[in-house]
Amino acid sequence: MNQMQRLAHARSVLMQAETASGLTRTEEKEGWQTPEALTPVLPSLKPGILAVTGSATVLLSIAGQASSQGAWVALLGLPWVGWGAAAEHGLDLSRTAHIPEPGPRSAEVLTALADGFDVIATGRLGLSVREQRAIAQRVRSRGASILASEWSTASSTLHVEGGGVSGCEDGIGHVKDLRFTVSSGFPRVECLWTDQGLVPAPRILQAVS
C-alpha cells in the first residue's frame, strides 16, 4: 500500500465512523472512564494528548476501557498489534480502525482520524515538535484523545515500569501475570495484567517484629 492509498484508507475509515450510529464524542462526556487499577493516577481520559511510556499493555488497556464504553478507537503506527491482541485488551473490533504503517504522511493521517475517532493510540510516527503542537490543538478542539507511546510535547504523561512476571519460575511454566508500577509523578500505583485484564495489585503485607 503506497502513501496515497494509506491516506485514502484513513479517510474511508473516517467517513464510516462519522456516518455510523452511536458515535459519541469525548467532549459530550466528563471523559472516558479508565481501568480501575489506574484511577488513582488517571481518573479519566480527557481530550488532548496523554503519553504512556514503558508499556504497550497499559496503553492498550486504557484504549480498551474507552472502547467498552462506546468509543471509536484508531490504532496508528502500531504494526505489532494484531487483532487478537486488540480484542484481548478490550477493544471492540467493530469500532476499531487499524493503520499499521501510515508512512511519511502520518501527521495528515492523524489529523484526519482526530476528526472522526474518540481515541487514537499511536506508536512512533516521527512527528516534528511543530506537527505535535498543531495536532494537539486540533485534537482538543475536536474533543478527541491521543494515547501516544512517544510524544515529546504531551501535557500529561504516565510512566510505566515493569515489576516482574509470575507463574514462570526458572523459565518453566506459563506466565500468570505481569506486574507494573504506574505513576504520573505522584502517587504511584501497582497493577497486574492478568487474563482478567488490568487489575489492582494486591498489597504485600509485611510482618512487624
| CATH code at position 62 | 3.40.50.300
- Same domain? For 179 and 137 the reply is no
Report yes or no: 53 and 149 within 8 Å, Cβ to Cβ: yes
Q: What is the mean pLDDT of residues 159-168?
A: 69
Residue 42 within a domain: yes
Residue 36 within a domain: yes
Residue 98 within a domain: yes
Residue 208 within a domain: no
Measuring CA to CA, which residue among 28, 108, 96 is closest to residue 63?
96
- Distances in Å between the Cα of 147 and the Cα atoms of 28, 61, 93, 104, 189 are 19, 11, 18, 20, 19
- Same domain? For 125 and 181 the reply is no
- Same domain? For 134 and 165 the reply is no
Strand partners of residue 40: none
The angle subtended at Cα 49 by Cα 7 and Cα 13, nearest 5°, is: 25
Residue 209 within a domain: no
C-alpha cell at 141: 478542539
Q: Does pLDDT of 184 surpass 50? A: yes
- Same domain? For 178 and 100 the reply is no
- Domain assignment of residue 38, given as a range: 3-157
Please tell me the least confidently modeled range out of 4-8, 40-44, 136-140: 4-8
- Same domain? For 88 and 30 the reply is yes
Q: Does pLDDT of 98 surpass 90? A: yes
- Same domain? For 127 and 92 the reply is yes
- Same domain? For 35 and 132 the reply is yes
Residue 71 within a domain: yes
Q: Does pLDDT of 103 surpass 80? A: yes
- Same domain? For 94 and 116 the reply is yes
**Distance, first Cα to last Cα, the chain:** 66
- Same domain? For 21 and 124 the reply is yes
Higher pLDDT, 107 or 169: 107
* Banded model confidence at residue 136, pLDDT cuts 50, 70, 90: very high
Domain count along the chain: 2
Residue 205 within a domain: no
- Distances in Å between the Cα of 169 and the Cα atoms of 57, 148, 173, 175 are 22, 33, 7, 9
Residue 206 within a domain: no
Give residue-wise pLDDT tens across range 22-60: 444 544 457 899 999 999 999 999 999 999 999 999 999
- Same domain? For 147 and 167 the reply is no
